[in-house]
């Protein structure tokens, strides 16, 4: 039986701000897609959050997640298809990453920071509705 070739890939996932509000769920969704494609995540981190150069699916802002993973060459088409069908991922770009060594890729790993940010986003209280009175810090 032929041996499957394992390559290293770099992927950029674009998430809407609404999806990124539940960052833990969004990251779990990305990891699930990669696992279904028999990929092993080597590194993942948030790359950028802010205004997009142009609207994507009606969104003016977005959150980019950068991931490096190892996967069989034949399974990349399945991963790309799952990303395109996903309602949580607005865009995804996956490229082979032969130009970086394993040590260089390891420096990009920010999964612990992502976990901390995901916990912080879920712990933030809801914003007060507009027109609601704001509590004053001074005593009357």
Domains of the chain by residue range: 6-123
First to last CA, the chain: 81
Residue of 8, 21, 22, 6 whose CA lies nearest to 96:
8
pTM above 0.85, yes or no: no
| Cross-strand pairs, 94 | 11
33, two tokens: 């897609």
What is the rounded CA–CA span in Å between residue 68 and residue 119?
Answer: 22
What is the CATH T-level fold of the domain 6-123, as seen in this structure?
Answer: Alpha-Beta Plaits (3.30.70)
pLDDT (tens digit, 0 to 9) for every residue of the chain, 140 residues total?
556 889 999 999 999 999 999 999 999 999 999 999 999 999 999 999 999 999 999 999 999 999 999 999 999 999 999 999 999 999 999 999 988 888 888 888 888 888 888 888 888 655 544 554 544 444 44
The 3-class secondary structure across 28-85, one letter per residue, is: HHHHHHHHHCCCEEEEEEEEEEEEEEEEECCEEEEEEEEEEEEEEHHHHHHHHHHHHH
In the DSSP assignment, the letter for residue 88 is S
Task: Write 121-130 long-range contacts (CB < 8 A, 24+).
Answer: 121/20, 121/21, 121/22, 121/23, 121/24, 122/22, 122/23, 122/24
């Amino acid at each position: 039986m032929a041996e499957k070739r394992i390559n290293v890939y770099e992927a950029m996932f674009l998430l809407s701000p609404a999806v990124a509000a539940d960052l833990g769920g969004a990251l779990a969704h990305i990891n699930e897609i990669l696992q279904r494609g028999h990929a092993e995540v080597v590194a993942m981190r948030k790359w950028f959050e802010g205004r997009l150069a142009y609207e994507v699916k009606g969104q003016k802002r977005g959150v980019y997640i950068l991931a490096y993973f190892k996967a069989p060459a034949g399974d990349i088409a399945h991963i790309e298809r799952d990303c395109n069908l996903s309602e949580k991922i607005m865009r995804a770009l996956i490229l082979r990453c032969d130009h970086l060594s394993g040590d260089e890729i390891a420096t990009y790993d920010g999964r612990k920071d992502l976990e901390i940010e995901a916990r912080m986003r879920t712990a933030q209280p809801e914003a007060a509705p507009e027109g609601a009175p704001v509590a004053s810090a001074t005593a009357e």
